[in-house]
Chain A
Amino acid sequence: MRTPFDRLRDGLLGVWSLGAVVFLFVPIFVIVLFSFNDNQGRFNFTWQGFTLRHWADPFGVEGLQQAFVTSLGLAALTTIIAVILGVCVALALVRHKWRGRGATGGLVFLPLATPEVVLGAALLGWFLTLGLIRGFVTLVIAHVMFTLGYVVITIRARLEGMDVHIEEAAMDLGANQWTTLRKITLPLLAPGIAAASLLCFAISIDDFVVSNFNAGQTVTFPLFVYGAARQGVPPQVNVLATAMLLFVVLLMFVNLGFQRRSARRQNREMETTPALGL
């Protein structure tokens, strides 16, 4: 019973949504476009012709390669640590009852809700009080601190959506906790862990504010760009930004395909073993 009015409304909704997506992509378009700009002077904001030379030499700017590699390493290390710590915390929060659980849940959430300037500034004072020389190590500490909450929340949501009965069934059948964790919980958590890792990596690699306070001599990609922005961002930065974007698109499609396949498999298994599906 779709009236013409409904159709008009849905149409408008679609147009509005498309408009919103276009809005989101305006700067992206500019970033990609200007990675091909044949700029002559120091700056890269007037279109001066098409070239591939920046793509041929993405690290042709002093310091950019090192900054980029630093950021990748930092994000990778942060992700590994934060995901391990985060999964543990999430398991404790969801699967166990203990005193202080509520308070811990609150503490995990707080860094997410703290403005970044406050996080960065507070850490800076603390590191210097401890006499820790700022550099890669302090960056890892800082990044793990503010990504941990995202991991916990992602994993927790996944854990809560999971059917406890499967784990309970395994335990009832005599599997100990470790085996249950290893054989049941973690495999079921895999998509959540993947999502948390991606999120963690993305947040870490993009962080500017907290890093700015705590990087010391280390230069990450966003810090490099910010420094360069005062003098004109070199087109190579656009090249790397575009390349990262392409990489993420690729990753997402792989992930999507993987999810579809596992969804299909799950459906099949549900049909064949309805008893386990409950």
Chain B
Amino acid sequence: MSSSGEAAAPRSGGWLTLRRRKSLLPLALVIPGLLWLILFYAIPIVSQLWISLQTGNPDDGFAQTWNWAIYGDSISEYSEQMLRSLQYAGTATIACLIIGFPLAYFMAFKAGRWRNLFLLLVILPFFTSLIVRTVAWQTILTDDSWITNALKTVGLLPQDGRLLATSFAVIAGITYNFLPFMVLPLYASLERMDRTLVEAATDLYASRWTAFRKITLPLAGPGIFAGVLLTFIPAIGDYINAQLLGTSQQYMIGNVIQSQYLVVREYPTAAALSFIMMVVVLIIIAAAARLIGTKKLSEAAVA
């Protein structure tokens, strides 16, 4: 490193001050960012609980009444959308894994000099706006589109069937929009893997399949785990896909929260639902962190 020589010049400085500075330094570094997150993340989230326990109506206002019953009420009222969210997010996550794992495996081990190109191609579509992409899917899946007609011709879709405004369209949309959240962590964990282990195994007469099963999969485990989590969690709160590609029969819990907040203005219900969602997500994360550790999890998020 060219700069290291210069820095290596001996400097005189009080050892004590350096040490004291050392103990204060992390604090100084972390406080602005930490404050930002406490003020604009932690407190607002907790304030949701406060809002959820109020009663009243949007025209005359709400007052705090510690109405804990709201939690039971909103769960029974919207259980259908909650279950649907779990189901759609789960299906989309599995679909992402099925599409994404071979792709990540190919990029990590087989793509050779095309590897960077593939990586670029996987990331690139996501530099166009999510809304624009989803609107494009609307165009692709219309009742008169070639893909709809083709599916009808080969009999995969009944003659009076449709693609748009069905759960298929919504799940496909979610799968599409969250695929990179699956592929990238998978790729990162596979790429980091020590291939010599697999070679060693096959040298020792393990079949390729056995080597894959006993070496590759376990080593890719944290990546798969992170990918599943990073796809599932945002998918469960998504409402854009259901909004643009689905109908009221496909609405998820995210649609309920946004409409309760932005249309009906039943803030306590909305706050209760979003607080429930937050708790569910926290439980999932805590369980995951316990299993593979927060650091691996968060690294995989971006790596």
Contact = CB atoms under 8 A, between A and B. Distances in A.
A111 B37 contact: yes
Contact of A25 (B8, B13, B102, B125): B125
Nearest to A89: B33
A131 interface: no
A121 B270 contact: yes
A152 B38 CA distance: 16
Contacts of B88: none
A205 B142 CA distance: 28
A166 interface: yes
A119 B277 CA distance: 11
B263 interface: no
A109 B236 contact: no
B237 A116 contact: yes
Main secondary structure of the interface of A (DSSP, over half): helix
Given A13-B102, A166-B1, A177-B25, A31 B34 contact: no
Contacts of A119: 41
A113 B233 contact: yes
Contact of A169 (B4, B6, B18, B257): B4
Interface stretch (B148-156, B214-222, B290-298): B290-298
Report the interface size class on chain A.
Answer: 35 or more
B204 interface: no
Contacts of B120: 249, 252, 256
Nearest to B105: A13
Contact of B48 (A115, A122, A153, A205): A122
A20 interface: yes
Contacts of B236: 115
B125 A24 contact: yes
Nearest to A188: B1
A20 B100 contact: yes
Interface residues of B, number: 102
B132 A153 contact: no
A17 interface: yes
B125 A28 contact: yes
B211 interface: no
Main secondary structure of the interface of B (DSSP, over half): helix
A16 interface: yes
A144 B6 CA distance: 36
Contacts of A226: 131
Contact of A145 (B2, B37, B135): B37
Contact of A174 (B6, B10, B289, B301): B10
A45 B139 contact: yes
A255 to B, nearest CB: 10
Contacts of B278: 114-115, 118
Interface in B134-165: 134-140, 142
Interface in A117-159: 117-119, 121-126, 129, 141-142, 144-145, 148-150, 152-154, 156-157
B126 to A, nearest CB: 7
A6 B208 contact: yes
Nearest to A86: B33
Given A13-B105, A113-B285, A122 B135 contact: no
A115 B118 contact: no
A194 interface: no
Nearest to B46: A122
Contact of A202 (B47, B103, B126, B257): B126
Nearest to A253: B120
Interface of A: 6, 10, 13-14, 16-17, 20-21, 23-28, 30-31, 34, 45, 85-86, 88-89, 91-93, 95-98, 101, 104-119, 121-126, 129, 141-142, 144-145, 148-150, 152-154, 156-157, 166, 169-170, 173-177, 179-180, 183-184, 187-188, 199, 202, 205-206, 208-209, 212-213, 221-222, 225-226, 229, 233, 237-238, 241-242, 244-245, 248-249, 252, 256, 269, 276
10 contacts: A20-B103, A23-B99, A92-B29, A112-B301, A113-B233, A118-B237, A125-B267, A141-B36, A144-B40, A174-B8
Given A116-B234, A269-B1, 19 more contacts: A6-B208, A13-B102, A24-B121, A24-B179, A27-B134, A27-B137, A28-B125, A89-B30, A92-B26, A96-B22, A98-B23, A109-B294, A112-B301, A115-B274, A129-B47, A145-B36, A154-B302, A229-B131, A241-B129
